[in-house]
């Protein structure tokens, strides 16, 4: 049984090239059990590439990614313990909200059993969409579509959740509302969460730690702890001070 402080994921000397282009040049960080970690960096520095590698969706050229000391590439159960929310909701337009969420269980054959309907209902309730089960994607706002994508990830009951700039494109009100929802769900479900963002304030507001990346070829410039109590005030002096540290790193 894992306890707080146990390293869930360890990324060591990670390297990735796309042809002759060196994107990642020795990335090192870890994500501990029950921790919310944000990856923050300039546009095009490889944030999504790191997320996809750690999620087991993309090969890499050097270094290692391990969970509990085991290489994720040799761990057959790794993908069963993780879920990903992408920047675009990627909902199937011919399926209802309920059917889109259930799709995750259908794709994991061993999960489609008598408990499937209960799991879908539970996931939709968690993201506040119990009244929209019969709606189709074209009937939903951008924020609601992203909630469906989040429910589709949570329905598989992952230990580790990966989120790739899931709030990009939303208006400020929806963005801040979903930040609060994600933090609430992360806290309630006691999962590890690795979230990519380009917004320093979002990272400071949500994260336990922030991994600040350099420009390509990308390295980790700093790992900043955020020890502020929750709920946090986006306009507080403490948030502004951490934001200033980040701006200095980007300078």
* 49-69 pLDDT tens trace: 999 999 999 999 999 999 988
Q: pTM for this one?
A: 0.93
Please give the average per-residue pLDDT across 24-47, as a whole number.
95
Question: Hey, what are 61's tokens?
Answer: 């050229």
Q: Taking phi first (over 0 means left), then psi (-120 to 50 degrees means alpha), and beta for anything else, what does residue 157 get?
A: left
Quick one: pLDDT at residue 115? Answer: 85
Q: Is the pLDDT of residue 110 over 70?
A: no
CB-count exposure of residue 231 (10 Å: 0-12, 13-18, 19+):
exposed
* Residue 51 near residue 39, CB atoms below 8 Å: yes
pLDDT-based confidence at 4, cuts 50/70/90? very low
Closest CA to 26 of 1, 55, 50, 52: 50
Is the residue at 1 inside a domain?
Answer: no
Kindly tell me the sign of the dihedral angle through the C-alpha atoms of 181, 49, 101, 122.
negative
Is the residue at 73 inside a domain?
Answer: yes
Is the residue at 20 inside a domain?
Answer: yes
Instruction: Please state, in angstroms and as integers, the Cα–Cα distance from residue 50 to each residue in 13, 198, 237, following that order.
Output: 12, 14, 31
Is the residue at 117 inside a domain?
Answer: no
Is the residue at 25 inside a domain?
Answer: yes
* Residue 186 near residue 35, CB atoms below 8 Å: no
Is the residue at 237 inside a domain?
Answer: yes
Is the residue at 118 inside a domain?
Answer: no
The total domain count for the chain is 1
Identify the residue with better confidence: 122 or 111: 122
Is the residue at 150 inside a domain?
Answer: no
Q: What CATH number should be reported for the domain holding residue 228?
A: 3.40.50.300
Residue 170 three-state SS: coil
Question: Hey, what are 55's tokens?
Answer: 């999620």
Range of the domain at 51: 7-89+160-250
């Amino acid at each position: 049984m894992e306890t707080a402080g146990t390293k869930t994921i360890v990324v060591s000397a990670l390297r990735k090239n796309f042809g002759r282009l060196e994107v990642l040049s020795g990335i090192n960080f870890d994500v501990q059990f029950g921790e919310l970690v944000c990856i923050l960096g300039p546009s095009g520095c490889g944030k999504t590439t790191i997320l996809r590698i750690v999620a087991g969706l993309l090969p890499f050229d050097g270094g290692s990614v391990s969970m509990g000391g085991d290489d994720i590439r040799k761990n057959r159960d790794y993908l069963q313990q993780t879920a990903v929310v992408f920047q675009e909701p990627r909902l199937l337009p011919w399926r209802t909200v309920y059917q889109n969420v259930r799709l995750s269980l259908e794709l994991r054959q061993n999960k489609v059993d008598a408990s499937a309907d209960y799991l879908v209902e539970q996931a939709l309730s968690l993201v506040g969409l119990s009244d929209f089960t019969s709606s189709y994607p074209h009937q939903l706002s951008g924020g609601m579509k992203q909630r469906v994508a989040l429910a589709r990830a949570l329905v598989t009951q992952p230990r580790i959740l990966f989120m790739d700039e899931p709030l990009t494109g939303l208006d400020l009100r929806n963005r801040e509302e979903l930040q609060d929802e994600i933090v609430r769900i992360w806290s309630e479900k006691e999962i590890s969460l690795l979230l990519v963002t380009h917004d320093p304030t979002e990272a400071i507001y949500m994260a336990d730690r922030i991994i600040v990346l350099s420009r390509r070829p990308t390295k980790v410039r700093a790992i900043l702890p955020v020890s502020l109590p929750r709920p946090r005030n986006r306009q507080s002096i403490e948030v502004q001070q951490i934001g200033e540290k980040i701006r200095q790193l980007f300078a």
